Chains A and B, each alone.
Chain A
């Protein structure tokens, strides 16, 4: 062991881990120093943004020069950095959304920023870890931070309820995950994902096979909880609804992407144990998740809740291509990664519009949007774009992402699954267009015309512009993005073999 440690080039290792260390260190720093700067919200904000940007810069540098190196328990390939970039983008956008929101809701505390940074550190560990234990630890770091964040608005009962619910369910899920890892370790004697992948079926003989499969199922349950797959989705609506909307944004995007990153790593290591059973599990979960998510979203009046259910549905779409993992692993992985990016941009955008409307109290019901088309044309226009993108109507990024997902299913011969997927998209038209109807079609009553004077803080507008351009431009010209993601994935799945 010591020998191994001595062999590492620590300087290189430091550089490689910088994108992880920066959020960790930054979060720690904020916790230590923050109390002395309690008044200076601005300092905390700028400091976290700077940390995130710096980490983004290093992650990009490392992406360019990535060498598929595994050091200790971490795997530094382009896929890791790709997801690191995704998390950091989600983080930066969330930070920009948070500043004015925290001030107007009286939630200014340095811990908020520290927790976000810690959570991102955890996410990166989830994707970078090539050992199940690291994945688990990363997941816990992330989860614990997000539990606290969900309850950050202590004065709001809903927020506290959300935190408690999320914590209880999450802890429960974590125990499943841990138990699964234990079973897998018991069956195979290792928790190293690369070893598991390379040895594949060879490690399983006789009765250990049963333990391994039990482990796999428990693992699936644990991860399923985290990304809110049906039937493990019950917490999602209440938590998303109760948490402050900035935290909801973060949960719906970064946390979900992290879950998918980890799932891809785990699937890659374990799918070969029982490909058929695995594919069956996936399609059942996918069909249930998207259908139930969509149907539950149909009747929601509160957009936070609606987006919560829609995010369940999107998780259903996103796991759909996994059925084809054994046939075309690389393109399946790229399609899911691509979708995560698309999903982050359009969901952050949609929430950002809601945040732009929420001064003092959250304005998240469909009613609050009525007549927005006349009052705030740009906000309404961009909200429409995000909703169309979530529906999957071209030429938006969401369409291309969905196209890419369904392409995988069709290629692998799961045509009926793609058909179910697209029919679900049609169902989703109904509720995604609900807000559009409110914004543009409804007649404004006299009091709405005067209406509350909406504030639109600059930082929030920056986020809206950024996501707006991302969703529309990448929707029209997805080529470069596609190359970026395919390169990231192939360096792991194709070259890494």
Chain B
């Protein structure tokens, strides 16, 4: 009985287990640091276990699976409606995979207000998983905003340097985008017969002009989050000043909210607007790739460098999505996950050395490979993954994206290739300056190498990188039919066509019945 009930509520479990953990932590006394940490880790691991459990029930059909529907606010047709397709399921998995690692990484870094910190972390997880799982636009918006506040606090309270400014910048940028999206959601709500249901929205016959405006409103919210050049200016500050865990989550998951938003909402809802805007967005994407890489190259701060590299990497994702072919989109989705792993790992590594030396300046290091060989090994490994060495994860993703781009929009592909080259330059140059050369600074001579806990954090990430790099098929299988469905929806020429797409093979469930497939 219980097992069956749990099986039919797997998504809710993943969304609300962290909340339960957060509430549990609230009950713990403030100075019980050990039990607070253990609780947080326990709940994130538990969520991960649930996720693994859900992996067996998720088949990677074109449909939404693991659906759950409950009435929430009937007066406005607002439902608690969850469901995942291949892409959102993978992103949820990424989130749940990163969370325990991130909690582990905060083990020693966070010394003040640990209770509040773990509380916010867990609430943040609820927000993130919820955002990926929500199929009701109102619910989506609520989760989208719920995510904002914990991150704001993480940056503001536990950040470094100009953290208050960074936190403000983060919240103001995100809010501006999202409130306009709210208005767009309300507009579509009335246009589409007062429904927030994702599936109903696919069949709303928006006119061209409406599509353009609505796409802009949705797109701005997502573009800021991605961040697409020129909306990226919040990112370097937020990423740099945030505590390690915050940076990992920001880069690993929160940025994906933007690309996921394009994938799930903005593009399938407004196909004509996509056709209209895609040259501009592609241009911005490749500008972002090149610009991000160039700016990363001249950074003096390792963390800032990684932050700017995110701008470039996310440019690839957008490039793949808007290439509008199977390869491009699948590459883009894979890149979302890869970026979460690689950049997440980079931020973790930077955090580890920062904990020891309290500086992130490249010039403060040099030649430390001899002193910290394990650390150097992991760092170089992740760097190689990040720049797309064949056999590691990023190679597969970038390769697919570039293939997709060349197939339809050759010129953008060419510029993007430049980005690949540049990324090798700035990353390897940084590695060279940090790890090799002469050990000059006195402080670096006493550097301690990684401990067991830190290795334990990094090993799963590296294994995942190798796994995806060598054998990406299990992941591709999960998302294949979803991306197909996405393309059909995005390439459709009129709203009537979308009704057709919603028949047999791509039957997004419209009814509110919950299904348990086994």
> How long is the Cα–Cα vector from A42 to B24 in the complex, in angstroms?
39
- Whether B157 lies near A482 (C-beta < 8 A) is no
Task: Give the interface size class of chain B.
Answer: 20 to 34
- Residue from B72, B148, B182, B187 within 8 A of A403 (CB atoms): B182
Residues on the B chain within 8 Å of A423, using CB: 176, 179
List CB contacts (< 8 Å) of A390-426 with chain B. Answer: 393-395, 399, 403, 406-407, 410-411, 415, 418-419, 422-423, 425-426
Q: Given that A394-B142, A441-B156 are known contacts, is A419 also in contact with B74, CB under 8 Å in the complex?
A: no
The residue of chain A having its C-beta at the shortest distance from the C-beta of B71 within the complex is: A479
Q: B-facing mask of A417-458, CB < 8 A → 1, else 0?
A: 011001101100110010011001100000000000000000
- Whether A410 lies near B186 (C-beta < 8 A) is yes
Residues on the A chain within 8 Å of B176, using CB: 423, 426
- Please give the distance in Å from B233's CB to the nearest CB on chain A: 16
Q: A-facing mask of B126-165, CB < 8 A → 1, else 0?
A: 0000000000000001100110110011001100000110
> How long is the Cα–Cα vector from A394 to B163 in the complex, in angstroms?
24
The reply on B27 being an interface residue by CB < 8 A is no
The residue of chain B having its C-beta at the shortest distance from the C-beta of A441 within the complex is: B156
Q: Given that A394-B142, A394-B146, A422-B180 are known contacts, is A441 also in contact with B167, CB under 8 Å in the complex?
A: yes
- Residue from A399, A418, A419, A433 within 8 A of B168 (CB atoms): A433
- Please give the distance in Å from A471's CB to the nearest CB on chain B: 14
> How long is the Cα–Cα vector from A346 to B107 in the complex, in angstroms?
36
> How long is the Cα–Cα vector from A407 to B76 in the complex, in angstroms?
10
The residue of chain A having its C-beta at the shortest distance from the C-beta of B142 within the complex is: A394
The reply on B172 being an interface residue by CB < 8 A is yes
- Whether A374 lies near B179 (C-beta < 8 A) is no
The residue of chain A having its C-beta at the shortest distance from the C-beta of B76 within the complex is: A407
- Whether A394 lies near B141 (C-beta < 8 A) is yes
> How long is the Cα–Cα vector from A72 to B186 in the complex, in angstroms?
43
The reply on A478 being an interface residue by CB < 8 A is yes
Residues on the A chain within 8 Å of B141, using CB: 394
* Interface residues of B, Cβ cutoff 8 Å to A: 72-76, 113, 116, 141-142, 145-146, 148-149, 152-153, 156-157, 163-164, 167-168, 171-172, 175-176, 179-180, 182-183, 186-187, 189-190
Q: Given that A419-B183, A441-B164 are known contacts, is A433 also in contact with B142, CB under 8 Å in the complex?
A: no
- Whether A482 lies near B75 (C-beta < 8 A) is yes
- Whether A419 lies near B172 (C-beta < 8 A) is no
- Whether A437 lies near B179 (C-beta < 8 A) is no
Interface residues of A, dominant DSSP: helix
- Please give the distance in Å from B250's CB to the nearest CB on chain A: 18
The reply on A483 being an interface residue by CB < 8 A is yes
The reply on A486 being an interface residue by CB < 8 A is yes
- Whether A425 lies near B179 (C-beta < 8 A) is yes
- Between B73, B152, B182, the greatest number of chain A beta carbons within 10 A of the residue's beta carbon is seen for B182
Residues on the B chain within 8 Å of A411, using CB: 186, 190
The reply on A470 being an interface residue by CB < 8 A is no
- Whether B171 lies near A419 (C-beta < 8 A) is no
> How long is the Cα–Cα vector from A377 to B115 in the complex, in angstroms?
11
Residues on the B chain within 8 Å of A430, using CB: 168, 172
Residues on the A chain within 8 Å of B152, using CB: 433
Q: Given that A388-B149, A393-B148 are known contacts, is A422 also in contact with B179, CB under 8 Å in the complex?
A: yes
The residue of chain A having its C-beta at the shortest distance from the C-beta of B183 within the complex is: A418
Residues on the A chain within 8 Å of B163, using CB: 441
- Whether B156 lies near A479 (C-beta < 8 A) is no
* Interface residues of A, Cβ cutoff 8 Å to B: 373-374, 377, 388, 393-395, 399, 403, 406-407, 410-411, 415, 418-419, 422-423, 425-426, 429-430, 433, 436-437, 440-441, 477-479, 482-483, 486
- Between A374, A388, A429, A482, the greatest number of chain B beta carbons within 10 A of the residue's beta carbon is seen for A429
- Please give the distance in Å from B358's CB to the nearest CB on chain A: 17
Residues on the A chain within 8 Å of B145, using CB: 393-394, 399
CB<8 Å pairs between A and B, sample of 9: A407-B189, A410-B189, A410-B190, A418-B183, A422-B180, A422-B182, A426-B176, A436-B156, A477-B72
- Residue from B113, B157, B187 within 8 A of A410 (CB atoms): B187
- Residue from A388, A429, A440, A483 within 8 A of B172 (CB atoms): A429
> How long is the Cα–Cα vector from A301 to B171 in the complex, in angstroms?
21
Closest 10 interchain pairs by CB?
A422-B179, A410-B186, A394-B142, A441-B156, A426-B175, A394-B145, A418-B183, A479-B73, A482-B75, A440-B157
The residue of chain A having its C-beta at the shortest distance from the C-beta of B175 within the complex is: A426
Q: Given that A393-B149, A441-B156 are known contacts, is A433 also in contact with B183, CB under 8 Å in the complex?
A: no
> How long is the Cα–Cα vector from A374 to B164 in the complex, in angstroms?
18
- Please give the distance in Å from B212's CB to the nearest CB on chain A: 14
Residues on the A chain within 8 Å of B116, using CB: 373, 377
- Please give the distance in Å from B157's CB to the nearest CB on chain A: 5
Residues on the B chain within 8 Å of A440, using CB: 153, 156-157
- Whether B157 lies near A406 (C-beta < 8 A) is no
Task: Kindly list 10 other residue pairs between chains A and B, CB separation below 8 angstroms, not including A419-B180, A429-B172, A479-B72.
Answer: A377-B116, A394-B141, A399-B142, A406-B186, A418-B183, A418-B186, A423-B179, A426-B175, A433-B152, A482-B73
- Whether A479 lies near B75 (C-beta < 8 A) is yes
Q: Given that A440-B157, A483-B75 are known contacts, is A429 also in contact with B164, CB under 8 Å in the complex?
A: no
Q: Given that A407-B186, A440-B153, A482-B73 are known contacts, is A429 also in contact with B142, CB under 8 Å in the complex?
A: no
- Please give the distance in Å from A22's CB to the nearest CB on chain B: 33
> How long is the Cα–Cα vector from A411 to B185 in the complex, in angstroms?
12
The residue of chain B having its C-beta at the shortest distance from the C-beta of A392 within the complex is: B179
The residue of chain A having its C-beta at the shortest distance from the C-beta of B74 within the complex is: A479
> How long is the Cα–Cα vector from A426 to B181 in the complex, in angstroms?
13
> How long is the Cα–Cα vector from A436 to B175 in the complex, in angstroms?
17
The residue of chain B having its C-beta at the shortest distance from the C-beta of A404 within the complex is: B76
The residue of chain B having its C-beta at the shortest distance from the C-beta of A440 within the complex is: B157
- Please give the distance in Å from B121's CB to the nearest CB on chain A: 15
The residue of chain B having its C-beta at the shortest distance from the C-beta of A423 within the complex is: B179
> How long is the Cα–Cα vector from A374 to B187 in the complex, in angstroms?
43
- Whether B73 lies near A478 (C-beta < 8 A) is yes
- Whether A373 lies near B75 (C-beta < 8 A) is no
> How long is the Cα–Cα vector from A388 to B190 in the complex, in angstroms?
27
Residues on the A chain within 8 Å of B149, using CB: 388, 393
The residue of chain B having its C-beta at the shortest distance from the C-beta of A479 within the complex is: B73
- Between B113, B146, B149, B189, the greatest number of chain A beta carbons within 10 A of the residue's beta carbon is seen for B149
> How long is the Cα–Cα vector from A486 to B146 in the complex, in angstroms?
27
- Please give the distance in Å from B141's CB to the nearest CB on chain A: 7
